[in-house]
A and B are shown apart, each in its own frame.
Chain A
Amino acid sequence: MARIIIHQEAITDAAALKALCPFNALDYVNDYLEINAACKMCKLCVKKGPAGVFEWVEDTRPGIDKSLWQGIAVYVDHLEGRIHPVTLELIGKARELGGKIHQPIHAVFIGSGIRDGAEELLDYGVDHVHVYDDPALKHFRIEPYTAAFADCLNLVKPAIVLVGGTTIGRSLAPRAAARFRTGLTADCTFLDVQANTDLDQIRPAFGGNIMAHIFTPNHRPQFATVRYQIFSAPPRTERGLGVVHSRSLPAAALASGIQVLEVRRKETTRGLEDAEVIVVAGRAVKKAADLAMVERLAQLLNGKVAATRPMIEAGWVDARQQIGLSGRTVKPRLIITCGVSGAIQFVAGMNNSDCIVAINSDPKATIFNVAHYGIIGDIYEILPALIQRLEGREATLETLAAVTA
């Protein structure tokens, strides 16, 4: 067991010691320096304190036999049998990791009437697809799904379990991880594997202000969730040598305290906050009619149009589309600002976006400070050319679809 011991006799400068801890976990109680419950076990006092005062004591725990846990399992996220693309991305990552440690890839497919989709997974290089196909698994209900998932993991004993960071994955993964009393790292943005199958996981915390490198040194399996579009899906290949296994559960394991009464498809109208792609019109747009090119670009990228305050005040754009302190705060995957100078009030409403592309003719525009891609140029030259290019691609795809149909 790990703990920090304070050697009171070695203390010389009492006041300085208290200040060592950034969490105020060092306190004097009856003239003795003590560690209170605010301690984070960060060991800063051990590392930075005067020699001999703080001691880190760790009893060696028996190490688990990691060779008993082999392979990488991927949970197959789907809606009524249609496989969510995050699953393929995870299979791609699993194959990459599996290649390094020479271990097989398992897919765990749980649902009702899903057998056909299971065959499809073999095309992506999965070695074993485990199918739990039962009418009781038609709706995602946590107890039977966890039972099926855990059943498979007990059977396969994988070293690593990857789950999509979807609504279902974020409910199922913690449940299963807790059942195995093992570690789960949510929303990983980077994964790698050591020769001993230890998984290196990197994830953001504090709203992305901090990155943490996490590992699970003495527990198996190691659970990680990854959001959609973090990794790349592998190309579909010739049918491999993978096998589909039909699995089943006893009726008792399929019982649930949850009864799904109704399932409604969501309306597709979404607000600016939910948009994955946003194209913003700024002051460089000279007249209302020119907004058409901003709208067209947004359309081609499957995104929404937004604007800065002057555009709203001019009455060219609806107030609901304003980004900034007096408007909406957005965090899309992609935001393209067109002729936006980057006033702090605006930037505060969008600077957490995943990818910021700024187009502005003024090289000194402050928007470039937050941009990932700063493009110095005139929107009247760039946007029409870009639109033409994207339209060309769209046309090619349509032709392709027509040919292959």
Chain B
Amino acid sequence: MKIVVCIKQVPGTSEVEVDEKTGVLKRDGVDSKLNPYDLYALETALRIKQAHGATVQAISMGPPQAGQVLREAYMMGVDEGVLLTDRRFAGADVLATAYALSQGIRKSGMPDLIICGKMTTDGDTAQVGPEIAEFLDLPHVANVLRILEVGAEAITVEMDMAATVEVARVQYPCLITVEKGICQPRLPSFRLKLQTRDRAVPQLTLDDLPDQDAGHYGLNGSPTQVKRIFPPAVNADHEMWTGAGPDLAARLGDRLQQLKFV
């Protein structure tokens, strides 16, 4: 069995600021880390590997520095890594990101199972996983809470459907996105760190992918464009109320109603 886990390097904190003058994110001095939700995806894959035997490959897209998150994946027990890195992938939105990853997965050989984290902490969209599944023409199940059975032809999972919890059997090859809390991710192991110290992180550029039309990647392959980014209006509706107790209570009651809390 072959499992691919999609991971991403994200800023170490979401406390980022926008440069008011240039409208660009200030990332100077902000550390990068592995997207915390991806730890659950990695752990899920590694547990399947331990229980049933599997090859686990982690795939990421980003600048050359993003190879670091693949090294971390090695330290957790991932067998192979691959980094999609190319200037022509720059400026990718959800569609172009998902397309590039799907091409990277095709290039590395189609797995039986693809596992993604719930979402990333920088984009917050939770949309890349389902789009990868579409590009690879696979069934997908999102919001997986538990893996119930890993069979020879299908995986049985429990998924969160807001009002209900559903148990579904999904045929391979397929893609699942896992919830935070599906398992407790392991820490990188020192032993594996030493063992994998010299293991390279293979890189793929546009020239290595099956579809080499640069118009499908990066900014050029992105239907959405960011017009501008700006800091949220923090407490824009910041109001201080003073007055007699009953008046304040009446005012608060009205406001709660207006805001549809009652």
A 4-19 to B, binary, CB cutoff 8 A, 1 in contact else 0: 0000000000000000
Question: Is A41 touching B124 in the complex (CB atoms < 8 A)?
Answer: no
Assuming A261-B156, A374-B239, A377-B243, is B231 touching A211 (CB within 8 A)?
A: yes
Assuming A186-B126, A229-B260, A259-B169, is B252 touching A386 (CB within 8 A)?
A: yes
Q: Which of B143, B168, B220 has the most CB of A within 10 A?
A: B168
B 153-170 to A, binary, CB cutoff 8 A, 1 in contact else 0: 010100011111111111
B242 at the interface (CB under 8 A from A): yes
A269 at the interface (CB under 8 A from B): no
User: A216: which B residues are within 8 A, CB to CB?
Assistant: 223-225
B 1-43 to A, binary, CB cutoff 8 A, 1 in contact else 0: 0000000000100111110001011111000000000000000
Whose C-beta in chain B lies nearest to the C-beta of A44?
Answer: B24
A193 at the interface (CB under 8 A from B): no
B45 at the interface (CB under 8 A from A): no
A357 at the interface (CB under 8 A from B): yes
Q: Which of A10-39 contact B (CB under 8 A)?
A: 22-25, 35-39
Question: Is B94 touching A184 in the complex (CB atoms < 8 A)?
Answer: yes
Least Cβ–Cβ distance between B227 and chain A, in angstroms: 4
Least Cβ–Cβ distance between B59 and chain A, in angstroms: 15
- New contact pairs (16) apart from A41-B218, A142-B139, A143-B139, CB-CB < 8 Å: A38-B64, A42-B91, A167-B162, A178-B131, A182-B223, A206-B11, A206-B124, A211-B232, A213-B229, A260-B168, A334-B259, A357-B252, A372-B238, A373-B237, A385-B246, A390-B253
For the complex of A and B, the 8 pairs showing the least CB-CB separation, nearest first, are A381-B245, A38-B63, A41-B91, A183-B223, A385-B249, A183-B224, A219-B223, A178-B134
A residues near B, CB below 8 A? 1-2, 22-25, 35-42, 44, 47-48, 79, 139-143, 146, 166-168, 170-175, 177-179, 181-187, 200, 204-219, 229, 232, 256-266, 277, 300-301, 333-334, 355, 357, 359, 363, 368, 370-378, 381-386, 388-390, 393
B residues near A, CB below 8 A? 11, 14-18, 22, 24-28, 62-65, 85-87, 89-91, 93-95, 98-99, 121-131, 133-135, 138-143, 154, 156, 160-171, 174, 214-215, 218-220, 222-232, 235, 237-246, 248-250, 252-253, 255-257, 259-262
